Amino acid sequence: MSAFEHISVMREEVVHYMAPRDGEVYVDGTLGGAGYSLALLAQARCRVYGIDRDPQAIAHAQTLHDGLISVRGRFGDVRELVPGPVNGFMLDLGVSSVQIDTPERGFSFRFDGPLDMRMNPDEQTETAADIVNTYDEKPLADLIYKYGEERKSRHIAAAIVKKRAESRFETTFQLAELIRQVVKVSPKDKLDPSTRTFQALRIAVNDELGELERALQASLYILKPGGRLVVVSFHSLEDSIVKAFLREQSGQMPAASRYAPVGVNENRVRLFDAPDKKAVFPSEAEARRNPRARSARLRWAVRTDVPVDDLKI
């Protein structure tokens, strides 16, 4: 077993809300270093299907535990990947520390590497370099604004288009250096000026928000009555999708989110019970210990016994 250096965020809370029991079956949609999966397996004699699109996470999980079945794929395809129905489905969104801290994966402006950012490097899909080198200025600016919530998106896109006329962007450092020239920061600023643009590219390359919406829809079908959905998200774009989904599916007014999936469960039938209207946050001790935990928010809900097939979805 190779080392997989990722510290799980809100692991105790996830186990608490998943409430695993002997003989039951769970899906960990974001296996990563298997922190959540192993925590469930330590708590009950259950089985866990661990999905990850990253071959490195799958390779690491191969021999970790007899009750852990690793499955390579995207969690948005969970219905095709896992024999359902199951007792719980959990997601810990975003990238693992292993992905961020491996320069060759190209996720981080802190290391020089190819501008890639694909969570599954075997997929023949767009890389961050493809986006930066080929998108027209307006769609590029829109992408940086929408997924990075970057106010300087237009300036950044204009500078990228100008620069790439001289030479293509190949590396993380080339892009980070350009952004530093465009976005001037005061010494008080805690964030590197590249943070938001890199986030935007990562979300686009991996269709992260589309995957999340598909997984939430799939949860309606794969969870048994009483089955638990637990989602840990790390920024407001993700959290507002989860929040809007749970509001809608628990029969409350749909949230006015620009990311809310439209036209789903129009008759407001209660497909989930969402006891906590508010998100659950990590403890202060965890936030102190692990800076990655500071932006984490957990939402959870319990599937009711209303069958989806009866609905116009």
Ligand X SMILES: C[S@@+](CC[C@H](N)C(=O)[O-])C[C@H]1O[C@@H](n2cnc3c(N)ncnc32)[C@H](O)[C@@H]1O
Residue 214: CB minimum distance to ligand X, A: 8
Torsion of CA 42, 87, 90, 21, to 10 degrees: -20
Phi, psi of 149 (to 5 degrees): 50, 45
b/e map 14-41, b = 16+ CB within 10 Å: bbebbbbeeebbbbbbbbbbbbbbbbbb
Please calculate the CA angle 14-219-120 and round it to the nearest 5 degrees.
Answer: 80
Residue 94: CB minimum distance to ligand X, A: 5
Amino acid, res. 188: K
Q: Measure the CA–CA gap between 306 and 133, rounded to whole angstroms.
A: 48
Q: Measure the CA–CA gap between 181 and 177, rounded to whole angstroms.
A: 7
Q: Of 108-167, which residues contact ligand X (CB under 6 A)?
A: 119
Stretch of 29-37, 59-67, 106-114, 168-176 contacting ligand X, by CB under 6 A = 29-37
Torsion of CA 138, 140, 142, 144, to 10 degrees: -150
Site for ligand X contains 70 (CB under 6 A): no
Residue 151: CB minimum distance to ligand X, A: 27
Residue 251: CB minimum distance to ligand X, A: 28
Please identify which residue in 49, 81, 86, 94 interacts with ligand X, judged by CB under 6 A: 94
Site for ligand X contains 197 (CB under 6 A): no
Site for ligand X contains 20 (CB under 6 A): no
Nearer to ligand X, 254 or 261 (CB): 261
Amino acid, res. 193: P
CB-based burial of residue 115 (10 Å sphere; 0-12 exposed, 13-18 middle, 19+ buried)?
Answer: buried
Residue 186: CB minimum distance to ligand X, A: 31
Q: Of 43-62, which residues contact ligand X (CB under 6 A)?
A: 51-54, 57
Question: What interhelical angle do 195-205 and 172-182 show, nearest 10?
Answer: 130
Q: Where are the beta strands (DSSP E) in the chain?
A: 25-28, 47-52, 68-72, 86-92, 223-233, 272-273, 297-303
Site for ligand X contains 213 (CB under 6 A): no
Site for ligand X contains 233 (CB under 6 A): no
Please identify which residue in 15, 18, 25, 32 interacts with ligand X, judged by CB under 6 A: 32
Site for ligand X contains 235 (CB under 6 A): no
Nearer to ligand X, 193 or 282 (CB): 282
Residue 195: CB minimum distance to ligand X, A: 17
Q: Cα dihedral sign for 22, 25, 30, 33? A: positive
Residue 61: CB minimum distance to ligand X, A: 9
Site for ligand X contains 193 (CB under 6 A): no
Please identify which residue in 8, 197, 199, 249 interacts with ligand X, judged by CB under 6 A: 8
Q: Which residues bind ligand X (CB under 6 A)?
A: 6, 8, 30, 32-36, 51-54, 57, 74-76, 92, 94-96, 119, 211
